[in-house]
Structure 1
């Protein structure tokens, strides 16, 4: 157990540092420290998501009895992935730190780095940080010890929730670098909407449906047939997913509605009422600002 935990503790931070170094040194890229940190963090999240989804598929397809069958990969990957959630809290903070500097808020991240920037980060990303803390402090011991080796199928299906993460990460990168007008952003937004709904929102109703078939009881009777801890855990895990999905839907509506109404941007003109004669910049082509959309797509 300790060996697997140690391996995860080395793998995810080490992968982050390796990707950051490569992005800063590869000829033709040579990105700045901030750009390399932000993109590396998204790449690590995507790689972890693909690993978790692959493990989940192997586990789910290997269990014929959804309650009694066991697969060695279940507990092993849980142990391996736990350090990721601890690392990711730090990685998200580093991304937030460099975003502040890019936006010109050096006062927030320079004068009081641990006071202003950290407290601002915790306020902004409170739900995501809380989600990660719960995964480590509650979901980890429940999945490894409380289950007592039962329900590996359900754990494997829950790993498949990570399938939506690569789309979320790519969307964040495109928004960060103001690529909302591209076809890639629109296609990725559609995929993110579909995968997030299927893999995260429909996930828990499906688990209840699978148990109803296994126990040969009506779907609506499942909440009354399983331990109350299962209902509580499912409710607490599903609630933020529904909230994030609503934010994604709002962002997608602004993106596609704004695109349908947008016209080719006019060249910058001198404002008649501006005594300094500064150029007036056209509004974003997609009809909404990247900053607001970025907040709405913070689901990981």
Structure 2
């Protein structure tokens, strides 16, 4: 029986490397198709562009699948999850940030290469096939990332409902008649759902007031209340996240397709837009360290300072600098260069630039809060509530037990013995052990 479980675990672990092979293969095909282009000023045809976009979808989806399977189904991935007590939503969050950092690295490298190649020739009219090629390839990422962020969001809600159910059971917060309560129970997949009593089961009821007090923090630090039915459809997610949706749709369609394919020139200017992604790996690392509950570590502080500095240089200062270079190239003043731009160009710059100011404001606000808030020597126990930019694991006396139960349930669904993964702690309350 033990040998059978080991074999099954190895087979599940080998599946992640198939996804990695698909990811590497799609990137290799994309690079190979570009080797056939003889001149750097050649255009990317529509057929080649659509081929690159399809390879982009394969690359980013398979890369995400590899990261998820590695953390969820391999021995080292399970050890990593156990060490940092990562729930399912934490794994999806880390994977999303890893893929985001990889895409940003590609984007910066493409922008840097094109900038070095074209800006010395003509700041306004020079072109490079690599800019258009990655425009087609990279647009797949922004469309994929919208769906990926939605899946992370819904999994956060599911995990939060699990924690609420377990903590309500641990503290005895049950209602015998179910008045003003919501019945939560596990379905066959181990995901919490809302509903009434069914059969002989005794689902834990969480009061409506407790549900209103429990919330989750999204990618931008905004507080989002858990819906009463525990569901959050895709359309609602898009509507409630307008800034990120506008940014992704604009970059993924107009910014990377219309500008690069129809415009056919000015790639030196567009290369600076690609180099804006230099700060993204630091933003992603900040989120990953926060999810791992390493916000008090030196690495988190250093990464935060690098993130703040790089974001200011590459996303805030970058556009005024590009406008200055443009004014010098056409031999007019900065203000004249800005006001004589076509109206559509000005609107596009505002759509791209204003969100950067908003996000930089949030970063500065968070940094000031970190450095200005003194840390108490003897911190009082925190109530059950997710902290901003942290994962969903509760910070209560029962935190280890709650995580152990959820982790063990996920391990059982994966066919792994819970005792081999995590050590269960005795269930404790404020009044002692149960």
TM range (shorter): 0.7 to 0.9
Equivalent residue in structure 2 for 1:77, among 131, 134, 137: 134
Structure showing the higher helix proportion among its residues: 1
SS of 1:29's equivalent in the other structure is helix
Cα pair 2:158 2:230 within 8 Å, conserved: no
Gaps of 5+ in 2: 1-48, 82-86, 165-183, 185-190, 195-226, 392-434
Shift in Å, 1:122: 3.4
Q: Deviations over 1:64-99 (max 9, x none)?
A: 211221111010000000010111011111111222
Shift in Å, 1:214: 0.9
Tell me: CA distance 1:9–1:28, structure 2 relative to 1, closer, same or farther (3 Å): closer
For 2:269, the equivalent position in structure 1 comes to 154
For 2:289, the equivalent position in structure 1 comes to 174
Structure showing the higher strand proportion among its residues: 2
Task: Establish whether residue 262 from structure 1 lines up as the match of residue 317 from structure 2.
Answer: no
Task: Establish whether residue 250 from structure 1 lines up as the match of residue 365 from structure 2.
Answer: yes
TM-score, with normalisation over the residues of structure 1? 0.82
Tell me: CA distance 1:123–1:250, structure 2 relative to 1, closer, same or farther (3 Å): farther
For 1:209, the equivalent position in structure 2 comes to 324
Total equivalences in the alignment: 273
For 1:23, the equivalent position in structure 2 comes to 71
Shift in Å, 1:124: 4.6
Tell me: CA distance 1:290–1:174, structure 2 relative to 1, closer, same or farther (3 Å): farther
TM-score, with normalisation over the residues of structure 2? 0.58
CA distance in 1, matches of 2:355, 2:272: 18
Tell me: CA distance 1:116–1:3, structure 2 relative to 1, closer, same or farther (3 Å): closer
Tell me: CA distance 1:116–1:9, structure 2 relative to 1, closer, same or farther (3 Å): closer
For 1:14, the equivalent position in structure 2 comes to 62
Tell me: CA distance 1:262–1:115, structure 2 relative to 1, closer, same or farther (3 Å): closer
For 1:90, the equivalent position in structure 2 comes to 147
CA distance in 1, matches of 2:94, 2:390: 18
For 1:226, the equivalent position in structure 2 comes to 341
Equivalent residue in structure 1 for 2:312, among 197, 206, 222: 197
Tell me: CA distance 1:123–1:114, structure 2 relative to 1, closer, same or farther (3 Å): farther
Larger Rg: 2
Tell me: CA distance 1:55–1:109, structure 2 relative to 1, closer, same or farther (3 Å): farther
Gaps of 5+ in 1: 267-279, 284-288, 295-300
- Superposition CA RMSD, Å: 2.6
Matches within 5 A, 1:25-64: 25-30=73-78, 31=81, 33-63=88-118, 64=120
For 1:290, the equivalent position in structure 2 comes to 387
Shift in Å, 1:109: 7.4
